[in-house]
Amino acid sequence: MDVLNPETRWIQGACFRINPIHSDYAEGGRGPRRTFNEENEGFTPYEDEPCEDLSGIVKTKDGYSLSLSIPSAYFPYIIGAKGATRKRIETETGTRIKIPGQGREGDVIIQGDSIRSIISVNSRLEIIISTARQKQPFTHFISIPFTSPEIQSGFLRFQQQVLHNCQDRGIEPDLFQTPAKLHLTIGTLVLLNEAERKSALTELRKCDDILSGPVEVSLEGIEYMNDDPSEVDVLYACVTGSAAEQLQELSDTIVDRMCGQGLMTRQYDRVRLHVTVMNTLFRSSKGDVENEVETKGNEVRRPRESFDAKNILKNFKNFEFGTQIVDSVHLSQRYSAGKDGYYVSAGQLEIV
């Protein structure tokens, strides 16, 4: 980590420094058991205490209370090895943290003598959850469908011509995306309960002022990311056209909002406007979005077998797939397919 220019993240209006993350603090985890320490396990606040008020705190006969809707997957991280994390937070803040029993869902309840102590605990839990979220396999992704009849037809034509004219090493039908699932991925999210899904959808819909209406873009040309065209794992079709920059602004704004709420981890400075058309991981998991990003959490990375794309790049460098009217952005559910063949949507931003 660059100590002079550390990576930072904003969570609910507070800025935190991101430190190297270790995976052995959760209850039941393998490796050396030790307690969670905010100084070396994730994010460090620039200030010891938050300066903003927090809605939802209620006055009780014994002080104050706050109920938080937190997915049960994060409970072990809050509890810590042998309960050490919860105990430390309670001791340092003079509060009580009530967590549902093992295997049960429900709110985490913070009880304390002052509003300030409640806010302090909430900030610490946000840090723990933000760190733990990076270890979870993502459940949803924000996508823009590229499934117009013209593009699906163009894609099938591309597939047929590649299979006929480019019979090079590793090229086979299973490498190609499913036409009904062609899409641009804006970012991936871990949303483990209804409250998190609603929060993500709310942030998505706050971007409704970026575009004044639907825009038309083209899918034209192909590119790859690694250095050797004879050892390619993924081929992309490029999003082009006069409205591409507007789409870029919308995509970047969505990522900014999601990252600002701790719902997404930024992968690049700007969203890459492309659509996956061939992927070596499609051989064993046809057409799903997890094949487009690095695996994380408890997911197992499958070994790749690259293909020789030199002739594809030579013969189809400027291939025209067609045009797409972008009139919606989807919060798509991973491992799903709707009646139209596209991913099931947990909600949409309608561009009108």
Q: What would the mean pLDDT of 235-249 be, rounded to a whole number?
A: 97
Share of the chain above pLDDT 70, in %: 79
Residue 42 has pLDDT above 70, yes or no: no
Length of the chain: 352
pTM above 0.85, yes or no: no
What HEC string does 161-178 produce?
Answer: HHHHHCCCCCCCHHHECC
Give me the chain's average pLDDT, please: 85
What pLDDT does 134 receive?
87
State whether residue 183 is helix, strand or coil. strand
Q: Which amino acid is it at 219?
A: L
Comparing CA positions, the residue from 27, 31, 119 lying closest to residue 78 is 27
Give the distance between the most distant pair of CA atoms in the chain: 78
Q: Kindly report, residue by residue over 190-216, the tens digit of the pLDDT.
A: 999 999 999 999 999 999 999 999 999
User: Residue 29 above 80 pLDDT?
Assistant: no
Give the model's confidence band at 31: pLDDT under 50 very low, under 70 low, under 90 confident, else very high.
very low
CA-to-CA distance for 337 and 344, rounded, in angstroms?
5
Distance, in Å, from the CA atom of 214 to the CA atom of 328, rounded to the nearest integer, reads 8
Q: Is the pLDDT of residue 44 over 50?
A: no
Q: Given pLDDT bands bounded at 50, 70 and 90, which one contains residue 303?
A: confident
> Which pLDDT does position 267 carry in this prediction?
86
Average pLDDT over residues 268-275: 95
pLDDT level of residue 15 (50, 70, 90 thresholds) = low
Q: What is the DSSP secondary-structure string of 57-77?
A: -EEETTEEEEEE---GGGHHH
Beta-ladder partners of 324 = 217
Res. 179: pLDDT tops 80: yes
Question: Domains, the chain, ranges and CATH?
Answer: 8-133 (3.30.1370.10), 140-350 (3.90.1140.10)
**What pLDDT score does 23 carry?**
42
Mean pLDDT of 57-83: 95
Among candidate residues 307, 297, 298, 244, the one with its CA nearest the CA of residue 272: 244
Q: What is the DSSP letter of 38?
A: T
